[in-house]
Amino acid sequence: MEGLYKVEYDIGDGSGRSVLYAHAGKMLGGNTAFAHFGTYEDVGGELVAKLRTQRHSRSLQRRSLVSSDSVSIHIRGRPQGKVWRFEGEVVDDASAFRAVMTPLGDDDIPPAGSVGEGGIVSGLYSIDIRMLDGIAGGQTGVMLLRDGRILGGDAFFYYLGAYSSANGRWKGEFVNQEHTPAKSEHPLFGGHEVGIGFSGRCDEAGAEMEATALAGKRSIRFTATLKLIEPFGKAGR
- % pLDDT > 70, the chain: 95
pLDDT at res. 137: 80
Helix (H) or strand (E) holding 173, with range, is: strand 169-178
pLDDT at res. 184: 81
Question: What residue ranges of the chain have pLDDT lower than 50?
Answer: 236-237
pLDDT at res. 97: 94
Each residue's pLDDT tens digit, 5-52? 999 999 877 899 999 999 999 999 999 999 999 999 999 989 999 999
Virtual torsion, Cα 7, 230, 194, 135, nearest 10 deg: 110
Phi-psi region of 168 (alpha: psi -120 to 50; beta: other; left: phi over 0): left
Mean pLDDT in the chain? 91
pLDDT at res. 62: 54
Whether domain 123-234 has CATH 2.60.40.1530: the reply is no
The structure's pTM equals 0.92
- Fold (topology level) of 3-103: Lipocalin (2.40.128)
CATH 2.40.128.380 domain position(s) in the chain: 3-103, 123-234
